[in-house]
Amino acid sequence: MTNKLKYFIANWKMFGDLKSYKIIANVNKFNNKYNKIDNYKIVFCVPNTLIHIFSRKLKSKTILIGAQNSTHHKESGPYTGSVNPTMLKAVGAKFVILGHYENRCEGETNELIKKKLIESHRKNLKVILCIGESLNQKKQKKTYQVIKNQLRKILDKKTKPENIILAYEPIWCIGTNNLPKEIELRKIITFIKIECKKILKSKKLPKVLYGGSVNPRNIHLFSKITQLDGLLVGGASRSSKEFIDIIKNYYK
């Protein structure tokens, strides 16, 4: 395992109320003792309703608060229910997840995700960009083609590598307890990095994470994959014990 900076990102999805801050407080307490040399950063992507209060309460340099989606609309206007990067930034979000499969299911296209990414960057929000293939696409051996298409449609040479974190989330692994084979995952992560290098025309590479059914029992499978820069954790991030154990077991 290398000593490069890693990311442990929590995606709470539609979960959490004011009392859920306890989860972050517990992780913060653990992190203050454990993360002495800033080996990693933690980002809690919480519902918009909690961003302000949580980011005000949290005093940490290595734990940050993020959002889970945003609109691409710049100006306020007739967009019922929408929240834009300016608004997210103003309440304390530092990151935003874009392109999550659950939002792609609602009709989000690569073209729309690109618009969201541009607007998020304009407002200095770092983007956690989710990509990945469906089970059908995998069966048809289209994984690489799908990933390449997603990357090429969303990123371009104006995208700065330090402003994005890629999260490879095979759709068939999200919330299913399915996991990719180690060898496949190594190849795909390397492929994503090489593709990004070509698209961004940069020597610096963005971080690339894995997401999908990560928990404390299977985390050892990921810690040996040196190509990986961290994990995006859904279900298991809603328990401080599970999330802490993921980090502890990763470094075991």
- Catalytic residue numbers, as ranges: 100, 169
> Cα–Cα distances in Å, from 201 out to 29, 73, 76, 104, 147?
40, 28, 34, 27, 18
In the complex with ligand PGA, the residue whose CB is nearer, 85 or 170, is 170
In the complex with ligand PGA, the residue whose CB is nearer, 95 or 200, is 95
Opening angle at CA 102, ends 99 and 105, nearest 5: 90
Of the candidates 23, 98, 165, 233, which one interacts with ligand PGA according to CB under 6 A? 233
Q: Give the up-direction half-sphere exposure of residue 131: CA atoms within 13 A in the CB hemisphere.
A: 30
Of the candidates 65, 91, 127, 174, which one interacts with ligand PGA according to CB under 6 A? 174
Cα 42 from chain centroid (whole Å) = 10
| DSSP β-bridge partners for residue 9 | 43, 232
67 binds ligand PGA (CB under 6 A): no
Tell me, what amino acid is at 165?
Answer: I
In the complex with ligand PGA, the residue whose CB is nearer, 206 or 212, is 212
In the complex with ligand PGA, the residue whose CB is nearer, 156 or 242, is 242
Opening angle at CA 127, ends 160 and 183, nearest 5: 90
In the structure encoding, which two tokens stand for residue 40, read together? Answer: 């990693």
Residue 132 Cβ vs ligand PGA, minimum distance, rounded to whole Å? 10
Closest residue by beta carbon to ligand PGA: 234
Only one of the segments 15-23, 104-112, 118-126, 228-236 lies at the binding site for ligand PGA (rule: CB under 6 A); that segment is 228-236
In the complex with ligand PGA, the residue whose CB is nearer, 119 or 169, is 169
Only one of the segments 28-36, 71-79, 185-193, 233-241 lies at the binding site for ligand PGA (rule: CB under 6 A); that segment is 233-241
Long-range CB contacts (within 8 A, 24+) of 177-183: 177/213, 178/212, 178/213, 179/212, 179/213, 179/218, 179/221, 180/210, 180/212, 182/221, 182/224, 182/225
Q: How far apart are CA 180 and CA 125, in angstroms?
A: 30
175 binds ligand PGA (CB under 6 A): yes
Of the candidates 26, 73, 235, 239, which one interacts with ligand PGA according to CB under 6 A? 235
8-27 residues near ligand PGA, rule: CB under 6 A = 11
| DSSP β-bridge partners for residue 165 | 128, 207
Question: Would you give the binding string for ligand PGA spanning residues 177-216, x where CB under 6 A is met?
Answer: ----------------------------------xxxx--
234 binds ligand PGA (CB under 6 A): yes
Is residue 160 a contact partner of residue 126, using CB atoms and an 8 Å limit? Answer: no
Chain contacts with ligand PGA (rule: CB under 6 A): 11, 169, 174-175, 211-214, 232-235
